[in-house]
Amino acid sequence: MYGDLTELLVPGFLSATVEQEGFRISLRSLSSQDLQLLKKYVRDDDPAWKYHLLAQSIWMVDGIPLLEFPYAHKVVYDALLKSNRALVRGMLGIVYGFFSRMREANFYLEAYLYEDDSRRLWRGQANGKYPLHTKTCIPGVERLGLNMIQSTWVAWNVTEDFRDEQEVNWANTKILVALQSHKSYEALNNRDKQRSDTEDERREDVKNRAWHRYLYGPPKEPGERVQGEVVHRARTNDELEEEMRRWIRGELDEHDQIVEAYKARVRQEMEERERQKEQALAELKAQREAQERDLGTEKPVLRAVTPEQLASIMESQGRPGKGAKFIAEADPVSRTFNRYLRPTVDPGNLSVDHAGRIIEQPPVIGDAAKEPSPSLTDQIASRRVVVPDEVQS
């Protein structure tokens, strides 16, 4: 996933090799600085702009690097004018493909910044003391300057180093606070831990979204969710309240729809299973009634047994003959279904008003909405006390 991105960091460009008539030509991706340089001496309406583009992209021929030679562009440009047109079209396709790969690599840049490999690469450069071109052996690569990905990577790591330094200073400050008031220290420490956990979760979400884009591809339309994207999890109080409002209004996100579809499928299977069980019991009942009609007497459903007979029956079935060990309500599948999936949860009396607040309305049963029920005080006041005759006498 980070292959093109790391190549854009070191050596600083994407590269591909073309072989033609025994020659090996290496092409590289162009940065914004290269395009600005081309605009200085090539007009947009110049028919030869594509040859200049290729001349700027060719950085090595037969193993000879051209980055250190200032006149290489002119020499390569003259050679391309005399070359095969099919070769020019093929190399142009490679250069255009570089631009597409660079745009795609930008989507993974933030996720790569949060990876341990990124910080290790930064520390391997002595926290920016040594530039990135020292990691490669290509001569003249320092003349290309930093591309946008390299500049962003360096700026973020500098900021991250400053943040780590501030965290150390703040930790020392909290130690001084703990000497004065341990309760205040605990409050500060809990708040910092919550903030750190929130930031860690946010970074994990960024990396997960990058992986899902890599596995399932970009969305087809702007704003469309990527297939298999991780569902956002509410963390703050506002997010929890908004999730509660959506549940009360009956709005289901992708995760809720998947869960509800799974529950509906399980309920349908259990209902079919119970229907088959009832059908089997009905058939057994009909069979028993038919046997009773043939015998002319009722067939007892239960029969009395002595304790000795019960012990013998239990031993024949491989069960302990004494004591009751457990009483099963139903089979494990039915118990789990009855406990978690059979009852449906609804908001009840909760609703969301026009201001987005969650309100609770008292339940209304039958005609209670027309005639309010008397209060407990009124019921006690209207109570009639009946005294028995023997007490009056």
Evaluate whether residue 391 is within a structural domain.
Answer: no
Q: Which residue has the higher pLDDT, 140 or 293?
A: 140
Query: Each residue of 329-378: pLDDT tens digit?
Result: 567 777 777 777 777 777 777 777 777 777 777 655 555 545 566 777 77
Evaluate whether residue 58 is within a structural domain.
Answer: yes
Domain range for residue 138? Answer: 3-156
Evaluate whether residue 83 is within a structural domain.
Answer: yes
Evaluate whether residue 272 is within a structural domain.
Answer: no
**Which stretches does DSSP call E strand in the chain?**
15-20, 23-28, 58-61, 64-65, 350-352, 358-360
Evaluate whether residue 77 is within a structural domain.
Answer: yes
Q: Alpha-carbon dihedral of residues 208, 212, 215, 221, nearest 10 degrees?
A: -160
Strand arrangement of the beta sheet that strand 15-20 belongs to: 15-20, 23-28, 58-61, 64-65
Cα–Cα distance, 11 to 143 (Å, whole number): 12
Evaluate whether residue 301 is within a structural domain.
Answer: no
What pLDDT sits at residue 98? 94
Q: Specify the long-range contacts of residues 344-348, CB closer than 8 Å, at least 24 apart.
A: 347/247, 347/248
Contacts of 94 (CB under 8 A, 6+ apart): 16, 18, 27
What pLDDT sits at residue 336? 79
Query: Each residue of 166-188: pLDDT tens digit?
Result: 999 999 999 998 888 889 889 99
Query: Each residue of 23-42: pLDDT tens digit?
Result: 899 999 999 999 988 888 88
Evaluate whether residue 49 is within a structural domain.
Answer: yes
Supply the pTM of this predicted model: 0.61
What pLDDT sits at residue 229? 46
- Cross-strand pairs, 359: 351
3-state secondary structure of 98: helix
